[in-house]
Amino acid sequence: MKNLVIIYKKWEIRMSISDKFSTFCANIRISDNNVNSIRNRYKQITKRINLDYYNSSSETDHSLYVGSYGRGTDIHVSDIDMIVQLPYDTYAKFNKYSSGGQSALLQEVKSVLQKTYSTSHIGGDGQVIAINFSDGICFEIVPAFINKDGISYTYPDTNNGGSWKVTNPRAEIKEIARANKDDCNFNLKRLCRMARAWKDKWDVPIGGLLIDTLAYNFLINWKHRDKSYTYYDWMTRDFFQFLKNQNEEQNYWLSPGANQYVLRKGKFEYKAKRCYNIALEALEYESKNKEWSANQKWREIYGTKFPS
């Protein structure tokens, strides 16, 4: 059992490991104001789709948050991913095209959204329609069709002449949420967010779903997964050890729940190794009650939102 003590030095109160990491985790959460703004825009986008495709004014039907925001592991508000579910007859219509059906579908949905967002910049990029708002938030909207299993979606990809692809974000969202609550004492989503702070600080070439997949693979087997913030210094050390020991020749992993391919974007192992060594230095300083020096090492890993 870790023995952590608050040390009093004249006018200074030394923060415990638990206090430091809980503060850090709070600092990287999306603010309530941004959450409200995202929710309102999500509802308006959903309503626009329902008006045109279902003759309904519902603000909740036929849409789903996906990506990091949908999994609850994001720390940014810059890109919000969502799926809008269209009727099957729309798929049948565009699937009949001899070529360019996927591109034509994206253009149609883009035109529908412009009825509500005529003054916002709307663009299409391969698989999504992007709405860029003036405050820097971008919604990336994927039009899709529910499959017979009632869970997965078929969506258009305009690249390489156009094709239909399948995705299963609900299974990933469900498994991340289940493991976070049932297996990991709510540590999984926090680790995913902490890893994103590291990615930003170190400019690591790694995607959000791969971060979540690797955090999941690590944490479900970590012996202290049922503990909390008091163990986050060890969790940092052990997670970077796990990352640095990944096979650099491995090109994909399987996502939690859906078992879909999650591709490597670049080499992340070397930067993980460097941060593993920095974590060892931080732990050494912590053991000697050199709090300022320890904090500088944690900030070297995670950035300025870690307490100084």
Arithmetic mean of pLDDT over the chain: 93
Distance CA 244, CA 242 (A): 6
pLDDT at 122: 75
pLDDT at 187: 98
Is residue 140 classed exposed, middle or buried when 0-12, 13-18 and 19+ CB atoms within 10 A define those classes?
A: middle
pLDDT at 2: 60
Nearest by Cα to 199 from 185, 188, 187, 210: 210
Token readout for 255 is: 């996502």
Token readout for 47 is: 């309503």
Which segments in the chain show pLDDT lower than 50?
3-12
Are 237 and 285 in contact by the 8 Å Cβ rule? The answer is no
The pairing of beta strand 163-167 with beta strand 79-85: unpaired
Say which CATH topology domain 32-167 has: Beta Polymerase; domain 2 (3.30.460)
Report pTM: 0.91
Start-end of H helices in the chain: 17-27, 32-54, 67-71, 88-95, 101-114, 169-178, 187-202, 208-219, 232-244, 269-287, 291-302
pLDDT at 1: 53
Half-sphere exposure of 109 (CA within 13 A, CB side): 32
pLDDT at 225: 98
pLDDT at 40: 96
User: So where are the chain's domains?
Assistant: 8-29+171-302, 32-167
Nearest by Cα to 222 from 243, 249, 207, 199: 243
